[in-house]
């Protein structure tokens, strides 16, 4: 099998992001020059198709990452504290919610390390960002065993440890 034409996943996602941005610029330019509405509509449909392809690639990368760690993506949790916590994604473990957070940060590695130390979090720089491979640094934050918590969260009202087979809905099971 010839693998010389296979691109790394980050490059595939970056190219999809660039195609979407190019299509968006073409749509915007058509609007600015007051192009016929049929042309503007056709260009907008192209933007939507390309954005959906980009989103599907990001979702696939997110799913593969989560599965590689034995986690699931938690779409209900989204928090930000730019530039370090940006485009944040929480991941749930098999028996506990929010065991990890991936941030697609715009900060330097030094600022990321300082933030992690300040908040007693473990930070792992991932090989690439599926949000913006050429513009962000993907960082996996996990809590340390004692004395750490997500810095922008209040303490939960109840213990959020899931029992095997328990429902993840608020209020528990049945």
Query: pLDDT tens digits, residue range 21-34?
Result: 999 999 999 999 99
Binned at pLDDT 50, 70 and 90, residue 167 comes out as very low
User: What integer is the mean pLDDT of 144-156?
Assistant: 51
10 Å Cβ neighbour count for 161? 10
User: Rounded to whole angstroms, how far apart are CA atoms 98 and 104?
Assistant: 17
The mean-pLDDT minimum among 16-25, 78-87, 144-153 falls in 144-153
What residue spans of 70-102 are helical by DSSP H? none
Token couple for 120: 């007693």
State residue 149's pLDDT score: 55
Say what percent of the chain tops pLDDT 90. Answer: 55
Query: pLDDT tens digits, residue range 67-111?
Result: 999 999 988 766 677 888 888 888 988 877 778 899 999 999 999
State residue 145's pLDDT score: 60
State residue 130's pLDDT score: 93
Binned at pLDDT 50, 70 and 90, residue 64 comes out as very high
Q: If phi over 0 gives left and psi between -120 and 50 gives alpha, with beta otherwise, what is residue 104?
A: beta
3-state helix, strand, coil in the chain (%, to 5): 40, 15, 45
Question: pTM (2 decimals)?
Answer: 0.73
Which has more confidence, 84 or 166?
84
């Amino acid at each position: 099998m010839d693998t010389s034409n296979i691109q790394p996943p980050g490059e595939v996602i970056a190219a999809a992001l660039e195609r979407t941005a190019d299509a968006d610029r073409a749509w915007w330019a058509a609007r600015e020059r007051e192009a016929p509405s049929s042309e503007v509509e056709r260009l907008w449909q192209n933007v939507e198709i390309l954005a959906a392809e980009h989103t599907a690639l990001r979702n696939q990368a997110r799913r593969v990452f989560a599965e590689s760690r034995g986690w699931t993506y938690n779409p209900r949790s989204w928090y930000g504290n730019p530039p370090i916590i940006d485009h944040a994604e929480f991941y749930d473990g098999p028996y506990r919610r929010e065991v990890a957070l991936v941030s697609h940060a715009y900060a330097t590695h030094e600022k990321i390390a300082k933030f992690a130390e300040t908040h007693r979090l473990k930070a792992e720089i991932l090989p690439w960002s599926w949000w913006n491979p050429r513009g962000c640094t993907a960082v996996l934050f996990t809590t340390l065993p004692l004395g750490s918590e997500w810095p922008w969260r209040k303490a939960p009202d109840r213990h959020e440890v899931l029992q095997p087979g328990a429902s993840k809905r608020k209020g528990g099971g049945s």
